[in-house]
Copies of this chain bind each other. A is one copy, B any other.
Amino acid sequence: MHFTLSQRAGKMSSSAIRELLKITADPSIISFAGGLPAPQTFPIEVMHAACERVFADDPRAAFQYAPTEGYAPLREWVGARHGVPVERVLITTGSQQALDLIGKIFIDPDSAVLVESPTYLGALQAFAMFEPRFVELPCDDAGMVPELMTAQMTAGARFVYAMPNFQNPTGRRMPLARRLALIETMRAAGVPIIEDDPYGELSYSGEQLPSLLSMHPDGVIHMGSFSKIMAPGLRLGYVIAPAAIMDKLVQAKQASDLHTPGFNQRVAFEAIKSGFLDGHIATIRALYARQCAAMLAALADNMPASVRWNEPEGGMFIWLRLPEGVDSAQLLRATLAPDSGPRVAFVHGAPFYAGPADQRSARLSFVTVTPARIDEGIAQLARALDHATAVHQRRA
């Protein structure tokens, strides 16, 4: 039978990262490719006890159909944490769903959508379903550069998508002055800001910076996640939105999956109510900070001067820039099938660009690898890079 698919379906493809993650499930590979949190941080005992309370308390309500907006006590907790009224909080099935809902209510075919360069691949995939025209904004090592944005870039845009804290893929954090300038630029241009903040709690160093939401509550739609501070398998995220568009988000969610599992929302709320979260976040921060430091030290010890990288103040990622003539996708093929030594995986940078990609970029995650394996993997990566550089120089 022949199926006539939608135009958007014709443009879909499986994420290169997803395919890569299938390969790296093999534990003999040293994988810096994952965007997965470290499973040893999952608060299993706390969630188990929370589960028991849900079963003891009102399990039939937990397993019945429930309001699209989410479980009221969990919404209240989110609202209080961000200083917004509960009416502005919508619980989503992971924060990926928030991207889908935002696409649904904002994007018409060919609508301009402003993005960082590079930006989160999952956001590009979610928004692409609604066939926007992506406009990459000027960026540097501190994120978007408002003073380089022209009126032509922002004209008529439906929104700008920003990840100010420890961005995926670059790990960069947007400084306060930049945040203020971005808000002013977008306010003047009449463009709402989508602030995606899955990693904000994972800060290792530097002071906590105010969210865009806290400084511009009427013009920011803020997305948060329980995946990095509790566990991704719950699939719990949230959106905080101005009242004017909350109804539309709720209607879009109703059509998308009716509501997020009530059982999971109650388990998360019961876990949070037990008061474990702040101590737990401190534990995750310490673990990730240690592994980040190990990777930075290994890079400094092994990499040639022609390789550049950032020093993240939080989050899960380091962004690598390879020397001229080295293509990160080619390097990845080499590190996955080395002549000797361990196989090493990372993510080449290209999929993170809405526009022309920097083929010399690569994303490294340190969160699921022990310091010893980090040393071993970075040393092996440096050897593969030496080889690639030598080949390039012979050709040149």
CB distance from A210 to the nearest CB of B (A): 19
Q: Which residue of B lies closest to A250 (CB)?
A: B14
- Which among B39, B51, B94, B247 is the interface contact of A257 at CB below 8 angstroms? B94
Q: Report the separation of the CA atoms of residues A127 and B244 in the bound assembly, to the nearest whole angstrom.
A: 24
User: Given the interface contacts A263-B264, A264-B263, does A190 sit within 8 Å of B63 by beta carbon?
Assistant: no
Q: Which residues of B contact A2 (CB under 8 A)?
A: 190
CB distance from A84 to the nearest CB of B (A): 15
Q: A1-30, CB under 8 A of B: which get 1 and which 0?
A: 111111111001111001000000000000
Q: Which residues of B contact A99 (CB under 8 A)?
A: 255
Q: Report the separation of the CA atoms of residues A6 and B126 in the bound assembly, to the nearest whole angstrom.
A: 15
Q: Report the separation of the CA atoms of residues A218 and B2 in the bound assembly, to the nearest whole angstrom.
A: 9
Q: Report the separation of the CA atoms of residues A233 and B12 in the bound assembly, to the nearest whole angstrom.
A: 31
Structural contact, B248 and A5, CB atoms closer than 8 A:
yes
- Which among B1, B51, B247 is the interface contact of A51 at CB below 8 angstroms? B51
User: Given the interface contacts A36-B65, A63-B231, does A258 sit within 8 Å of B122 by beta carbon?
Assistant: yes
Structural contact, A263 and B126, CB atoms closer than 8 A:
no
Whether A323 is near chain B, meaning CB under 8 Å from some CB there, is no
Structural contact, A36 and B64, CB atoms closer than 8 A:
yes
Structural contact, A232 and B36, CB atoms closer than 8 A:
no
Structural contact, A18 and B106, CB atoms closer than 8 A:
no
Structural contact, A192 and B51, CB atoms closer than 8 A:
no
Whether A335 is near chain B, meaning CB under 8 Å from some CB there, is no
User: Given the interface contacts A51-B55, A104-B9, A257-B93, does A39 sit within 8 Å of B64 by beta carbon?
Assistant: yes
CB distance from A277 to the nearest CB of B (A): 15
- Which among B47, B251, B258 is the interface contact of A94 at CB below 8 angstroms? B258
Structural contact, B65 and A108, CB atoms closer than 8 A:
no
- Which among B15, B254, B256 is the interface contact of A15 at CB below 8 angstroms? B254
Structural contact, A106 and B6, CB atoms closer than 8 A:
yes
Number of interface residues of A (CB under 8 A): 85
Whether A394 is near chain B, meaning CB under 8 Å from some CB there, is no
Q: Which residues of B contact A244 (CB under 8 A)?
A: 1, 3
Whether A60 is near chain B, meaning CB under 8 Å from some CB there, is yes
Whether A40 is near chain B, meaning CB under 8 Å from some CB there, is yes
Can you tell how many copies of this chain the complex includes?
2
Q: Which residues of B contact A135 (CB under 8 A)?
A: none
Structural contact, B231 and A64, CB atoms closer than 8 A:
yes
- Which among B4, B64, B97, B257 is the interface contact of A96 at CB below 8 angstroms? B257
CB distance from A160 to the nearest CB of B (A): 13
CB distance from A206 to the nearest CB of B (A): 28
Whether A235 is near chain B, meaning CB under 8 Å from some CB there, is yes
Structural contact, B122 and A104, CB atoms closer than 8 A:
no
Structural contact, A129 and B104, CB atoms closer than 8 A:
yes
Structural contact, A233 and B44, CB atoms closer than 8 A:
no
CB distance from A66 to the nearest CB of B (A): 7
Q: Which residue of B lies closest to A248 (CB)?
A: B9
Structural contact, B254 and A63, CB atoms closer than 8 A:
no
Residues of A114-160 contacting chain B, CB below 8 A = 122, 125-126, 128-130, 156, 158
Q: Report the separation of the CA atoms of residues A107 and B1 in the bound assembly, to the nearest whole angstrom.
A: 18
Q: Report the separation of the CA atoms of residues A322 and B212 in the bound assembly, to the nearest whole angstrom.
A: 55
Q: Which residues of B contact A264 (CB under 8 A)?
A: 261, 263-264
Q: Which residues of B contact A68 (CB under 8 A)?
A: 18
Q: Report the separation of the CA atoms of residues A202 and B64 in the bound assembly, to the nearest whole angstrom.
A: 18
Ordered by A's residue number, 23 sampled pairs between the chains whose C-beta atoms are within 8 Å are: A1-B242, A6-B107, A6-B111, A6-B130, A7-B108, A9-B106, A12-B105, A12-B248, A14-B251, A14-B254, A35-B65, A36-B64, A39-B60, A42-B60, A51-B55, A93-B261, A94-B258, A96-B256, A99-B255, A100-B256, A126-B256, A128-B255, A235-B259
Taking A6-B106, A47-B63, A93-B93 as given, write out 20 further A-B residue pairs in contact, using a Cβ cutoff of 8 Å, ordered by the A residue number.
Answer: A1-B219, A2-B190, A3-B242, A3-B244, A4-B106, A4-B156, A4-B158, A6-B104, A6-B108, A8-B104, A8-B108, A9-B104, A9-B252, A12-B251, A42-B60, A42-B63, A96-B255, A100-B256, A126-B255, A129-B255
